[in-house]
Structure 1
């Protein structure tokens, strides 16, 4: 995975996290509170933002350490984790489709694989 692609992905996810977070805090707050989903929405935004920052760090690391060429698992783990974990929670909060709660842990597993991929990328070095 090219470092610039990783950084651009981080930038897009970061911008979306800020937008969704602001919209949730201002425009959706009454609806989320009424549904008892404000905390769930905030969790989705937090993990979305944490892993956007992790992607930025990953891209920066890939620029500094090009010999660490096995960081693709980390990229895909973080990317899919944001889409599945945070995405399923966003849809759950906004639609009330409760079966999406069963999908959310798959995003958590993707996040874990992303962190393991970061370890592997630094360990193997080639």
Structure 2
């Protein structure tokens, strides 16, 4: 507690190394792809089966949300673990969903659950 009787949040003091700034570049590339693929999915993607449009939108949502999270990687205790797992999740989950929707072949999304576990692992890594 601080002097006023309220709770004081502990300050995280971690020196960010130059090597950890690579995650900003990864996030920049991923962000460009997320916006571009999201726009393509909204304006140009016309699958024969409308379910594939939903798959594309799900891939796009997870892609954008986890790209924003990737910006925090340099601030985490283990940036390479957090950033690596998020990047793996982006490729395996969003990437395979984009491909499955584009080719209208659900079997191409087999890596998606592994990408989901990558996302979960990244978030869990913040606990330790």
Q: Tell me which interval the TM-score lies in, with the shorter structure as reference length.
A: 0.7 to 0.9
Report the Cα offset of residue 101 of structure 1. Answer: 2.9
More displaced, 15-24 or 98-107? Answer: 98-107
Two-structure CA RMSD over aligned residues (Å) = 1.5
Matching residue of 1:105: 113
Across the two proteins, how many residue pairs are aligned to each other?
110
Matching residue of 1:55: 70
Matching residue of 2:56: 41
TM-score normalised by the chain length of structure 2: 0.79
More displaced, 92-101 or 18-27? Answer: 92-101
TM-score normalised by the chain length of structure 1: 0.80
Preserved CA contact (<8 Å) 1:21 1:45 = yes
| Distance (whole Å) between structure 1 residues aligned to residue 105 and residue 84 of structure 2 | 26
Alignment of 1:73 onto 2:81: yes
Greater RCO (CA < 8 Å, at least 6 residues apart):
1
Report the Cα offset of residue 119 of structure 1. Answer: 2.2
The runs of at least 4 aligned residues of structure 1 exceeding 6 Å deviation read: none
Matching residue of 1:115: 123
More displaced, 110-119 or 6-15? Answer: 110-119
Report the Cα offset of residue 108 of structure 1. Answer: 0.1
SS in 2 for 1:119: coil
Unaligned runs of 5+ in 1: 63-67, 121-126
Question: Which residue among 12, 24, 44 is the counterpart of 2:41?
Answer: 24
| Distance (whole Å) between structure 1 residues aligned to residue 125 and residue 106 of structure 2 | 31
Name the structure with the higher helix share. 1
